[in-house]
Amino acid sequence: MTTNDFTFSDGWISQTSTYASTSTLDPRIATSQQGASLSFSLTSASAFYLVGSVNYNHGSFNVTVTPSLDVGSGSQQQGEYNGSSRWIGLDTMLYLATGLDRSKTYQVEMTNDSPNRWLDISRVVVLDTPP
Protein backbone atom coordinates (compact mmCIF):
# COMPACT_ATOMS: atom_id res chain seq x y z
CA MET A 1 0.00 0.00 0.00
CA THR A 2 1.28 3.51 -0.83
CA THR A 3 -0.09 6.64 0.84
CA ASN A 4 1.31 10.14 0.21
CA ASP A 5 4.58 8.63 -1.03
CA PHE A 6 4.73 6.28 1.97
CA THR A 7 4.78 2.55 1.28
CA PHE A 8 3.56 0.15 3.96
CA SER A 9 4.00 -3.62 4.01
CA ASP A 10 1.15 -5.79 5.25
CA GLY A 11 0.44 -5.62 8.98
CA TRP A 12 -0.01 -1.87 9.53
CA ILE A 13 -3.28 -0.51 10.92
CA SER A 14 -4.57 3.01 11.38
CA GLN A 15 -5.10 3.99 15.01
CA THR A 16 -7.34 7.04 15.38
CA SER A 17 -8.69 6.32 18.84
CA THR A 18 -7.37 7.38 22.21
CA TYR A 19 -4.09 5.87 23.36
CA ALA A 20 -4.20 3.02 25.90
CA SER A 21 -6.24 4.03 28.96
CA THR A 22 -5.64 7.75 28.49
CA SER A 23 -8.14 10.22 27.05
CA THR A 24 -5.48 11.62 24.72
CA LEU A 25 -6.30 11.35 21.04
CA ASP A 26 -3.14 10.16 19.29
CA PRO A 27 -3.62 9.37 15.59
CA ARG A 28 -0.92 7.01 14.34
CA ILE A 29 -0.19 3.92 12.30
CA ALA A 30 0.87 0.83 14.16
CA THR A 31 1.92 -2.77 13.77
CA SER A 32 2.69 -5.71 16.03
CA GLN A 33 3.82 -7.89 13.13
CA GLN A 34 7.51 -8.72 13.07
CA GLY A 35 9.06 -7.66 9.76
CA ALA A 36 6.37 -5.11 8.92
CA SER A 37 7.98 -2.06 7.37
CA LEU A 38 7.24 1.38 6.03
CA SER A 39 9.34 3.39 3.63
CA PHE A 40 9.45 6.84 2.09
CA SER A 41 11.84 9.05 0.18
CA LEU A 42 13.23 12.47 1.06
CA THR A 43 14.66 15.19 -1.15
CA SER A 44 15.88 18.71 -0.31
CA ALA A 45 16.23 17.76 3.34
CA SER A 46 19.07 18.38 5.77
CA ALA A 47 17.56 16.43 8.70
CA PHE A 48 14.46 14.47 9.70
CA TYR A 49 13.04 12.74 12.71
CA LEU A 50 10.40 10.06 13.32
CA VAL A 51 7.81 10.62 16.03
CA GLY A 52 5.74 7.89 17.67
CA SER A 53 5.05 6.46 21.07
CA VAL A 54 6.87 4.24 23.53
CA ASN A 55 5.29 1.85 26.02
CA TYR A 56 5.89 -1.42 27.89
CA ASN A 57 4.48 -3.47 24.97
CA HIS A 58 6.67 -1.87 22.29
CA GLY A 59 9.89 -3.45 21.09
CA SER A 60 12.90 -3.08 18.86
CA PHE A 61 12.86 -1.59 15.38
CA ASN A 62 15.36 -0.89 12.65
CA VAL A 63 15.85 2.28 10.58
CA THR A 64 17.86 2.25 7.36
CA VAL A 65 18.71 5.36 5.34
CA THR A 66 20.05 4.88 1.80
CA PRO A 67 22.47 6.22 0.71
CA SER A 68 24.20 6.09 4.08
CA LEU A 69 24.64 9.35 5.95
CA ASP A 70 28.23 10.60 5.99
CA VAL A 71 28.96 12.56 9.15
CA GLY A 72 32.48 13.89 9.57
CA SER A 73 35.04 11.20 8.84
CA GLY A 74 32.71 8.26 9.41
CA SER A 75 29.17 7.28 8.63
CA GLN A 76 26.17 7.67 10.90
CA GLN A 77 25.21 4.56 12.84
CA GLN A 78 22.00 3.01 11.63
CA GLY A 79 20.34 -0.04 13.01
CA GLU A 80 18.51 -1.30 16.03
CA TYR A 81 16.46 1.00 18.26
CA ASN A 82 13.98 0.23 21.03
CA GLY A 83 10.56 1.71 21.78
CA SER A 84 10.13 -0.13 25.07
CA SER A 85 9.42 1.98 28.15
CA ARG A 86 7.93 1.49 31.60
CA TRP A 87 5.64 4.45 30.94
CA ILE A 88 3.56 5.62 28.00
CA GLY A 89 5.36 8.32 26.07
CA LEU A 90 3.32 9.99 23.34
CA ASP A 91 4.92 12.19 20.67
CA THR A 92 8.35 10.76 21.42
CA MET A 93 11.24 11.16 19.00
CA LEU A 94 12.06 7.61 17.93
CA TYR A 95 14.82 8.38 15.43
CA LEU A 96 16.82 11.46 14.36
CA ALA A 97 19.01 11.82 11.26
CA THR A 98 21.12 14.92 10.65
CA GLY A 99 23.75 15.87 8.13
CA LEU A 100 21.77 14.93 5.03
CA ASP A 101 23.02 16.32 1.73
CA ARG A 102 20.02 18.29 0.44
CA SER A 103 21.09 17.61 -3.17
CA LYS A 104 20.58 13.84 -2.71
CA THR A 105 17.42 11.76 -2.53
CA TYR A 106 17.29 9.41 0.45
CA GLN A 107 15.19 6.29 0.91
CA VAL A 108 14.16 5.64 4.54
CA GLU A 109 12.87 2.29 5.78
CA MET A 110 11.60 1.53 9.30
CA THR A 111 11.00 -2.12 10.25
CA ASN A 112 9.44 -3.76 13.32
CA ASP A 113 12.00 -6.31 14.56
CA SER A 114 10.04 -7.68 17.52
CA PRO A 115 7.43 -10.44 17.37
CA ASN A 116 4.16 -9.48 19.10
CA ARG A 117 5.54 -6.07 20.13
CA TRP A 118 4.15 -2.79 18.88
CA LEU A 119 5.77 -0.14 16.72
CA ASP A 120 3.87 3.00 15.90
CA ILE A 121 4.56 6.28 14.21
CA SER A 122 2.54 9.47 14.21
CA ARG A 123 4.71 11.95 12.28
CA VAL A 124 7.76 12.41 10.11
CA VAL A 125 9.27 15.86 10.56
CA VAL A 126 11.57 17.04 7.76
CA LEU A 127 13.94 19.97 8.22
CA ASP A 128 15.79 21.89 5.54
CA THR A 129 18.40 24.62 5.56
CA PRO A 130 18.84 27.24 2.85
CA PRO A 131 21.17 26.12 0.03
Q: What pLDDT sits at residue 15? A: 82
Q: What pLDDT sits at residue 125? A: 95
Three-state DSSP state, 2: strand
Q: What pLDDT sits at residue 84? A: 93
pLDDT tens series, the chain, 131 aa: 444 589 999 999 998 777 666 777 778 899 999 999 999 999 899 999 999 999 999 999 999 999 987 655 444 546 789 999 998 888 899 999 998 998 999 999 999 999 999 999 999 999 998 77
Q: What pLDDT sits at residue 4? A: 56
Domains of the chain from N-terminus onward: 2-127 (2.60.120.260)
Q: What pLDDT sits at residue 2? A: 43
Identity of the amino acid at 58: H
CA 32 to chain centre: 14
Q: What pLDDT sits at residue 1? A: 45
Q: What pLDDT sits at residue 75? A: 43
* 119 contact partners, CB below 8 Å, separation of at least 6: 30, 31, 32, 36, 52, 58, 59, 61, 83, 110, 112
State how beta strands 60-66 and 79-82 pair.
Answer: antiparallel
Q: What pLDDT sits at residue 129? A: 83
Q: What pLDDT sits at residue 48? A: 94
pTM of the model: 0.85
Q: What pLDDT sits at residue 35? A: 96
DSSP code, position 115: T
